[in-house]
Structure 1
Amino acid sequence: MLYRLAAFALTLLLASCGGGGGGGSDAPVLDKPPTLRGVAATGAPLVNAQVSVVDGQGKAVGTATTHGADGSYSLTLSTTSPTAPLFIQARGMDAAGTMQVLHSTVPTISAAMVGHVTPLTNAVVALALGTEPAPVFAAAATSASQLTQMASAASAAGTFLKTLVKTQVSDLKITDAAALDLLADSTFAANKGAHDLLIESVRIDLARSKLNMPVLQIGNKFLAAPTAEVVVELPTAQTELLKASGTPATAITSTLKAATSATTLLGTLAGLDDLGAALNQLIAQGRDVSTILTNTLVTGYDKHNGRSKVDIAGILSTYTTGNRQFGRFQLLGCADDAPTAGNCAKVLVGAVISDSTGAVVDLFSDAVSYNKSATTTNKWNLIGNGKKLAVDVYPLGFLALAADGTPSSAVVPNPGIGLQVEVQAQTADPVPGIPATQLLSSATVQLPGGFSIPFGYCNRLLLCVSSTPGATNLIPTGGVGDIAIQRSAVGWIGSADSVRGAKFITSYTISGVAETRNAWLRADVLGEPAATRFPSLDSVSAASPVFAASLQSGTLMINWSAWAAANPDLRLIEIKRVFTPAAGGAPTVLDTTVPLPPKTAATLSAAYTPVGSVTSELWLQAMDAQGRRFHTRYSGKP
């Protein structure tokens, strides 16, 4: 009842002061274009992100680029009379290397406005619109009525959202939740303050239900599994939010009405950025590997997916040589196999690494731990996840294209879907000139439905799917078939294996010790992925196909700018060429380093000289914001 009265009072207040985003006669008369500022962040700042602003009529009224250090932006609108509301979109790569497309709104116009862009503001806008914001932003010129509704419901949507994360609000000691403006908090910065940690402590996704209903999913980020604890049907929520006495809680379809929280952990995170500052100081002092190994920041380091303490010291030393620096850490989750309720001992973090010009040149990820008894050193230090190798599982899509870019008729279904299972088989990132070391010979992956799939060593970084249980010396294909459990090819995959939170159990023996590892599916497998989501090259056509000779030459430059512009929430993460002898045997696989955004071009610089007849293929792999993998194969024209 109190919530409904507050919403009703808010509606009256907005009406009395011209709020609700209609513009028109209630819009203020300004003698100069108004200004807009804010921070784009996912916990860590979104560095060098592109910010675009449209008004309530869908007219573009401003653009900006976020600052490389703190994610802030500011701009002067291009008009003195913008129609309310402002609709803001920020596009950029976060500290985990994930492309983010986030939205926010400014419901009413004034001379100086604040509009932050975060996962929480994106959720507010989704609730106020009753659907995913990105398509509405793209069609803003014809969506005036939707934008008016967004403005009218935005404040109530923010109030409702805070009830869904009320445990985090309490744990972070935000004493006046009603006063916390998720859209325009004048004190907000991506600095591990309470507002910032509220953003980082929950996992927020927009998805579709089995009935194709747009839903908001919220969960405690520090659970072992990526559980969607709270699920809200967006259209129902919007309908209720637009009512003077609506009850948006009726849109919650989950048992839980608020996300759980890592209570103990949240009380310690305020000082995490001190670790980044200390690492930057260590790098700036020009320390070598032997000196770094004795530093308290890494002395407790165990290992991280096979990466040793010496390896981490080597990485930091290369940052010294290259004059690199850490950006702010972003919280990614918990590395504990079974986190204690309300806590997490090993916290997964990511950070961008930039050069002296501010350009992002690398991505760093590891695990950190907290030592509450430390008095003369940092309380947060690098620790590693303690794992001898990495195990992951992702939703997968695969598209086979002919040399002219048209879908191949030889592959059915096309696109295909399935699961991408990654079991690390070799040491990653070996020192140049020193070959990778084999870690595993075989493994078994048990699906949630109860069936098990064998994997075997195939002289690649990851184990390959095996058709022969116990095989330890497989011949890889070089393509997606090495790591994909494809629904069309394996009859053991069921619906339980393809949904968010599905648990996969991997068993193997390493260094004579049997181990079992769990991995959880981060998102649902898409039933029918759109062909436009798969990475594609510019200018490939019947008149300009991908020639096998060009793939072999070592001079071919490829560009994917049109695809990247059409899919700003996707990032290309792999480029490889696969040359398979027609006579049989192992293929030759040549990997090309993928440049980080905003770059969208690369040269396939290593040449390949075939011996006899070979098939030549180009493979591209992309990743979306929820970890789904999209693979494209171009078959080179002889």
Structure 2
Amino acid sequence: MHPHSHSAAALPGLKAGLILLSSLTLGLVLSACGGGGGGSSSTDSGGTGESAAGVTTFAMTPTLSGVAAVGAPLSNAQIKVIDAAGAAVGSATTQPSDGSYSLSLSSKSLKGPLLIQTSGLDSSGSPQVLHSIVPILDATKPAMVAHVTPLSQAIVALSLGSEPQAVFASAAASAALIAPAASAASAAGEFVKTLIKTQLTDLKITNTATLNLLSDASFAANKSVQDLLLEVLRVQVARSNKGVDQLLISNKLQPTAVPEVVVGLAAAQTELVKTTGGLPANAISSSLKLASTSKATLDNLASLDELSAGLNNLIAQGKLAADFSASALLGTYESHNAGSKADLAARLAAYAANKRQLGRLMVLGCADDVLTAGLCKRVMVAATVSDSSGAVLEYFSDAATFTKAAAPATTGGKWSLIGNARKLDINVYPVSVLDLAADGAVNSATKPNPWVGIQVEMQAQTSAATPVKLLDTATVQMPSGYSIPFAYCSRPLLCISYTPGATRVTPIGSIADSALQQSAIGWLGSAESQRGAKFVAAYTSGGAAETRSVFLPADVPADTARSRFPSLDAVTATAPLKAAALRDGFTINYATWAAANPDMRLISVRTLLTGGFVPLLVDNAPPLPPKTAVALPGLSLPNPLTLSAEIWLGAQDMQGRRFYTRYALQAE
């Protein structure tokens, strides 16, 4: 629905890593001589093609193929290809099983470089928009390869000097930015390798010169060596709250969300395009110059997909809940966000009854509070759940553990599900809220509009058909030291309490139940608004007191364009949203917004009526993309309607930032 400080075990190798970084940077300077690396780079797609600034003509129809993956494949993702002039030259959809794609380009004459964009949902349901590049076109090599991964995204971002999505969206007007990317891509690929040198060493990739992060024909999203790079690294391209486009790289298994390596994209690209003497390492603003290691965990990850394959085997046999519960694949299972082993077994049995299957597992992070010698004992994993057509119907997430083979064996072992052993789920998100009138106009009475803040989601009930209350109260301490009280409000999540000491409160029904507005609460400052900010929740559940640390996944945006907020089609001054329509029900559409924001996903739709004794609220789950319509069922309402009616739309982007839009419906 989505960065870390190094462990003590990683520190001994840091000095050696910095020395190696210096030597690699020297090599990068030498390779930059003569135009940024040209045709001999390991990231080139060909060696003798015409100038990337000109047009290359192929004797036969050129083709493009590759794999879109973030560790696990990106299933059913959309692929779009443009040339340096911004012209669309091809599109495709990735295969559900392995994320591969293949297409014939629409012209034999192409202006390089080619830019590739993939958009879809990863195995956790989080939106992903990633890019790749074919930097040099070669008329003698019409069969081109371009993989689309977080590492290819890093290379493209460094080559462009900015976030690639905006350039791709306005490519015709951005030709001056695209052209230099051809010559910078080679050096950018080599620079990225210096930032992930620890992981390359862990995976025994000793000859980095032959490592091709863009077009290795042998690459597959199957826990191969290069795929494992994607599993253990968190690679993001993001704009800071100061408006600086940055490349952020971290060890994904570290428990915090603070980026380890931070690179300014514009500063790095300035160095990468220099014909001589380019030093992209000068653009690193973090104290660390390469990501830390979790080698003890990485050594076991190659066999992780055996776990999903084993579960699928049981599912295909139509096993019952008792069979799953007795399986060694759940042998050491404890609990996961208050869910029991029996709950998990019942869910897997439902997959069997409905002929579902799990996709390849993707590593999300680590549920351990602290890594010990680089070992994560509870690896957070996720997988798609699909039918026989390959259509993804839902997402599965849990925690897995690796058990070593019994002596006298010195290697080997098995993965099984174990759960995160948490009594409840807790998350914090940067949030921004836009308040609109029934006709879509900005509500001038709300100031500021939009407003920003922090959303805190604390699980209050089990997810069973008949929910069970997990706790009465909790507090969340912010980085500044101030604490906010929460209380049970008969909803799936705790509500912010405005009555100190209360164990039960009435929900407001709006975002105010869980979101703290920065402009209204003086306790919220810059410390609470930065990526990696630490929030500490304290509560008592099942008679035992517990504290949990959670981390903000991204900076709170300082300035948010209105186009980022979810909006409904066909809402105008002459066609406003009317409260009376709620009686019969109606369908809302958001196709225009979804098309303009492929890196976002609508996650919630709520109808809210206030003015009575308690707020009346109805939540409707939006469908998975590419669907862009939600049918709101009719409601039994008094006539005339004396209650105020609102529709709330919630969306989340690929960094974990949340955007909410409130529509105040027109009264009768």
Out of 420, 423, 434, the residue aligned to residue 385 of structure 1 is 420
In structure 1, distance between residues paired with 2:510 and 2:33: 58
The 5-angstrom pairing of residues 466-615 of structure 1 reads 466-553=497-584, 555-580=585-610, 582-583=611-612, 585-605=613-633, 607-610=635-638, 613-615=642-644
Amino acid at match of 1:114: V
Amino acid at match of 1:560: Y
* 1:425 equivalenced with 2:474 (yes/no): no
The 5-angstrom pairing of residues 197-212 of structure 1 reads 197-209=228-240, 211-212=242-243
Q: Tell me the equivalent position of 2:76.
A: 48
Aligned length: 628
1:551–1:636 contact (8 Å) kept in structure 2: no
SS in 2 for 1:548: coil
Deviation readout 1:420-442 (Å, 9 max, x if unpaired): 001111112x22xx3x1111100
In structure 1, distance between residues paired with 2:314 and 2:34: 54
Extract unaligned runs of 5+ from structure 1.
none
Shift of 1:14: 2.9
Q: Assess, with a 3 A threshold, how the Cα gap between structure 1 residues 610 and 322 changes in structure 2: closer, same or farther.
A: farther
Q: Tell me the equivalent position of 1:71.
A: 99
Q: Tell me the equivalent position of 2:380.
A: 348
In structure 1, distance between residues paired with 2:230 and 2:381: 14
Out of 251, 257, 271, the residue aligned to residue 240 of structure 1 is 271
Q: Tell me the equivalent position of 2:120.
A: 92
Q: Tell me the equivalent position of 1:214.
A: 245
Shift of 1:556: 1.1
SS in 2 for 1:563: helix
Deviation readout 1:122-174 (Å, 9 max, x if unpaired): 00000011111111111211322322210101011000001001001111111
Amino acid at match of 2:642: S
Identical-pair percentage: 51
In structure 1, distance between residues paired with 2:564 and 2:183: 33
Q: Tell me the equivalent position of 1:406.
A: 441
Deviation readout 1:554-578 (Å, 9 max, x if unpaired): x311111111001110101111111
Q: Tell me the equivalent position of 1:305.
A: 337
In structure 2, distance between residues paired with 1:606 and 1:509: 40
Q: Assess, with a 3 A threshold, how the Cα gap between structure 1 residues 552 and 479 changes in structure 2: closer, same or farther.
A: farther
In structure 1, distance between residues paired with 2:412 and 2:187: 45
In structure 2, distance between residues paired with 1:604 and 1:144: 44
Shift of 1:379: 0.7
The 5-angstrom pairing of residues 166-245 of structure 1 reads 166-209=197-240, 211-243=242-274, 244-245=276-277
TM-score between the two structures when normalised by the length of structure 2? 0.91
The 5-angstrom pairing of residues 238-277 of structure 1 reads 238-243=269-274, 244-277=276-309
In structure 2, distance between residues paired with 1:91 and 1:175: 33
Shift of 1:310: 0.9
Higher relative contact order (CA 8 A, sep 6+): 2
2:296–2:373 contact (8 Å) kept in structure 1: no
2:37–2:183 contact (8 Å) kept in structure 1: no
Shift of 1:546: 1.2
Deviation readout 1:40-94 (Å, 9 max, x if unpaired): 1111111111111111222111111111110000011111111111111111111
* 1:129 equivalenced with 2:160 (yes/no): yes
Q: Tell me the equivalent position of 2:43.
A: none
* 1:146 equivalenced with 2:171 (yes/no): no
C-alpha root-mean-square deviation of aligned residues, in Å? 1.8
The 5-angstrom pairing of residues 4-83 of structure 1 reads 4-8=29-33, 11=36, 14=39, 17-18=48-49, 21-24=52-55, 27=56, 29-83=57-111
In structure 1, distance between residues paired with 2:600 and 2:241: 23
2:241–2:555 contact (8 Å) kept in structure 1: no
* 1:314 equivalenced with 2:346 (yes/no): yes
Q: Tell me the equivalent position of 1:456.
A: 487
Amino acid at match of 1:627: G
The 5-angstrom pairing of residues 326-337 of structure 1 reads 326-337=358-369
Q: Assess, with a 3 A threshold, how the Cα gap between structure 1 residues 536 and 557 changes in structure 2: closer, same or farther.
A: same
* 1:373 equivalenced with 2:405 (yes/no): yes
Shift of 1:13: 5.3
Deviation readout 1:25-48 (Å, 9 max, x if unpaired): xx3x42221111000111111111
2:379–2:399 contact (8 Å) kept in structure 1: yes
Amino acid at match of 2:658: R
SS in 2 for 1:279: helix
Amino acid at match of 1:322: N
TM-score between the two structures when normalised by the length of structure 1? 0.96
Q: Larger deviation: 538-547 or 603-612? A: 603-612
Amino acid at match of 1:6: S
Shift of 1:521: 0.4
In structure 1, distance between residues paired with 2:499 and 2:483: 12
In structure 1, distance between residues paired with 2:50 and 2:258: 37
Amino acid at match of 1:8: C
1:20–1:152 contact (8 Å) kept in structure 2: no
